[in-house]
């Protein structure tokens, strides 16, 4: 669920999440911009919610 809280720049990112949660619009925007520059996300789908991993680190994990 989207929320209007200030972004924390920390997310949980996975090809498939089996949990529900919220995420700020700020963090969604950061993830969208970051995904444009990541080859690992080209033609891929992934799910995000607020989490404990910095956005940049979360993208490193998806490359594996």
Consecutive 10-residue averages of pLDDT for the chain (64 residues)? 90 93 96 92 92 92 68
- At 64 the pLDDT is 56
HEC string of the chain?
CEECCCCCCEEEEECCCCCCCCEEHHHHHHHHHHHHCCHHHCCCCCEEEECCEEHHHHHHHHCC
pTM: 0.86
- At 8 the pLDDT is 94
């Amino acid at each position: 669920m989207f929320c209007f809280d200030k972004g924390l720049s920390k997310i949980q990112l996975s090809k498939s999440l089996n949990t529900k949660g919220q995420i700020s619009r700020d963090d969604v925007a950061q993830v969208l911009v970051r995904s444009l520059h990541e080859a690992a996300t080209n033609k891929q789908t992934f799910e995000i919610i607020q989490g404990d991993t910095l956005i940049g680190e979360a993208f490193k994990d998806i490359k594996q």
